[in-house]
Amino acid sequence: MPVLVTGGAGYIGSHAVLELVGRGERVTVLDNLSTGFDWAVPEAVDLVVGDVGDAVFMQSLLEERGITEIIHFAARSLVAESVADPLGYYLGNIVKTRTLIQAAIKARVTRMIFSSSASVYGEPVVDIIGEDEPTVPINPYGRSKLASEWMLEDAARAHGLVYTALRYFNVAGADPQGRSGQSSRVATHLIKIASQVAAGARPGLEIYGTDYPTRDGTCIRDYIHVTDLARAHVAALERLRAGGGSLKVNCGYGRGYSVKEVVDVVKAVSGIDFPVTLSPRRPGDPACLVARADRIRAELGWEPTLDHLPTIVGHAIEWEKCLERRKAAGRAAASVA
């Protein structure tokens, strides 16, 4: 039976699809293309355009295709946007996930992988965050992810569904073969923005806060390559297939880099010394967010292969160049037409 990947035309979802296809899995992608791109889905994969919040549609799709496994990426994912539009995020990330879970139970889906976030921890009091740290999210995005974890936990207890919730730290980079990358219209992540500057798509970069209690005064984050993260999803699915129980795990490398260190690496890899503006702190930015990554290795047998910041940055820059070429080709085609 095919694996259903919701949000499989988006950034992380498309990389998971590439990993699944590369392992010979049959995959169906469901995406409403609000932030995803149809060209990000491999030609050999069946793309269904639809919404996980449509209960009748979801029930029909799962039953007609005999789907028993779901990897659920479809969600809204911008923290600042969630603060401005909390009800929209509760609809998109909680209500629609509930609809998906209900349809999955009715259709006898047995396994689900859920795309969660380190945002569920809020502002932790420790620098290295384990899965058993308190979950006290400080924005609607983080709350929506935590509420979805609760729903999965309760549904698993009541209905026998088994799941894995993967709590992402800072995802970056692009497919090493250049087949996919972060293509979102709104960029909020540091490596994405810095790579756009290096590729000439932005004039400069802002650093928010230089007075944090860290080694150079700027925030420290755990950056994980998107392909390593995609492989974690496959490993989680294989563990559930082997009879593993429900699980929540961090997805990170267990090592952090400061904002200044990331900027220096982007400059070194690109060979471009771009302008950087120092600005005040943004509200709600913790000084340090680094994953305790023991559980993901022990439970999933996951070993990263791209744990190297210059590699992550290099792949991100190459993808930005690819996007710029794609835009140029589009403009050229439009002028000819």
Residue 282 per-residue DSSP state: P
CB atoms under 10 Å from CB of 136, counted, come to: 14
| Residue 307, both tokens | 């744990």
| Residue 85, both tokens | 């539009």
Phi-psi region of 173 (alpha: psi -120 to 50; beta: other; left: phi over 0): left
- Asked whether 207 and 276 are in contact (CB, 8 A), the reply is yes
CB atoms under 10 Å from CB of 66, counted, come to: 10
Distances (CA, A) of 20 to 29, 45, 238: 11, 10, 11
Phi, psi of 257 (to 5 degrees): -125, 145
CB atoms under 10 Å from CB of 64, counted, come to: 9
Q: Look-up: residue for tokens 């082997």?
A: 242
Q: Look-up: residue for tokens 């000084």?
A: 287
**Cα separation, 81 vs 184, whole angstroms:** 14
| Residue 317, both tokens | 């820059």
Q: Is 253 a catalytic residue?
A: no
**Closest by Cα among 146, 44, 58 to 96:** 58
Residue of 11, 89, 141, 168 with catalytic role: 141
**Cα separation, 332 vs 26, whole angstroms:** 36
Q: For residue 291, how far is the Cα from the chain centroid? A: 15
The beta strand positions in the chain, using DSSP E, are: 3-6, 27-31, 46-49, 69-72, 111-117, 128-129, 162-168, 170-172, 205-208, 220-221, 223-225, 247-251, 257-258, 276-279, 288-291
Q: Look-up: residue for tokens 């860290």?
A: 214
| Catalytic machinery residues | 141
